[in-house]
Structure 1
Amino acid sequence: MFWFPIQLSLLTASVAAVLVFIAGAVLGRIFAVRNFRGKLAAETCLMLPLVLPPSVTGFLLIIAFGTNSWIGSVYEKVFQNSIIFTPVAAVVAAAVVAFPLMFQSAKTGYGSIDPNIEAAARVEGAGEWRVFTNIALPLAGRALMTGFVLSFTRALGEFGATLMFAGNIPGVTQTMPTAIYVAIESNQMNLAYTYVGISIFISFLLLGLTYLLNRED
C-alpha cells in the first residue's frame, strides 16, 4: 500500500496534464488571436480555479458531476457507476486546478509570435490549420512545454478539490497529498516524511526542467 499513492499521483498527474495540454493548446490559441463578445468573462472563468479555494472547486465539481447533474447522469448510465470517489474524479479535479497554468502559458506563447510570420504563410496559401500546426505550435513550443510541466506539477500536488471530489479511499483514490494528510493525523511521521520527501524531489526536478526550458540560448 505504500507505493499506491505514489503510483496513483503520477498516473493522475500524467493523464490530467495530457488532457490539459490539449485543451490549453487549443483554447490558448483561440484567446490569443481572436476577439469576441464575452471574451473577458470567458477567460476569467477559465482562470478561476487558480484563485478559488480548493474546497469551493471541489464543491463545484460535485455539483457539476454529481448524480443530479446531466453529466453525472450520463456518466452513471454509461459506466454504471458514479464518477465521485473514483480515480476518474481525481483526474478531473487535478485537470481543473492545473488548467489555468497551461492556458496562460499557451496564450502567452502564441501572443509572442510575430503576426507577420503567420500572415506570410497565409499569403503563400497556407490554411489556418497549417498555420496552427506548422507555425504557431513550433514557435510557441517552449511556452507549451513549460505549461505542460507546470500543469503536471500542479496536478501532482492537488489536495483540497481531490479530497472533496475523489475522497481519500486507500487503494482506490488515495494520492500522495491525501496520504500525507492521513499519515500526519495518525501520527505516522516517518511515513509522512517519506511522502513529503518524494513530493519535494519530484517537484524540484520538474521545476528545474521548467527553468531549463525557459533559459535563454
Structure 2
Amino acid sequence: MLGCLTTWIGRKFDIPSLIHPGRRLYRRMVQTAGDQRAARDEAARQTLREQEAAADAEAAQDGTDGIADGVERPAAKVPASTNPEVSEGEHVSGFQFEEVASEMEQAANQYDPENAMEILAMVEGLPAALTSVANVMKILAERSDSEFPLEKEVADGFNDIFGALMSAVAVAEDMGPLFRQAHEQDIARHEDPRNGTEAEKGWNV
C-alpha cells in the first residue's frame, strides 16, 4: 500500500525516487546479497588455496626426508627367523604313523578293563579299528601312485601291506563270535540276567 501511494505521488509531482520504491529496494537487497555471497565465495577459495599450498609444502618436505628416518626400529634385536633349525639329514613329517602306533601299543599295555564284557566290546570293535589302519596303507598307496614323486614299486608295497591288514581284519571278524561262544553262559548272565542283575550276582565266585 505504501509503495502504491508513493508511486502515485512521485508520478504526480515528477519525483522519480518515489516511484516503485519496493522494486528499487528489492534490487538493492539482491545486489547486496550477491556481493556478500561473492565475498564469501572468494574467502572460501582463498582458504582452500592456502590449505592446498600447505599440503603441497608438507608433502614436498616428507619427500626430502630419508625413508630410513621414518621407520620405527625395535629396541631389541629381532632374530632373522623364528623357525627352529633342522640339522642336515633330519626330516620333520606332518604324518608320523609310528607315534600313533606307539601310543596304541602303550594303551594296550596299560589297558585295565573293569570286567570281561568290556573286553568283549573291545574285541567286537577290532574289525573296524584294523580296517582304519588298513585304510591308511590304502590311502598311501593311492597317493604314492598319483601324487607323490615315488616309483610304482613303492605304491605296490603299500598295497601289499593293505592286503595283509585286510586279512587280519577277516581274522578279527571271527574273534567276536568266538568270544561269545567260549563265554556264552557268562555273557548271558550280563545280557539276560535271571531275576535281574543283582540276583545274578549270587553266582559270582
TM-score range, shorter chain: under 0.3
TM-score after normalising by structure 1 = 0.26
Q: Which is higher, the Rg of structure 1 or of structure 2?
A: 2
TM-score after normalising by structure 2 = 0.27
Which one has the bigger helix percentage?
Answer: 1
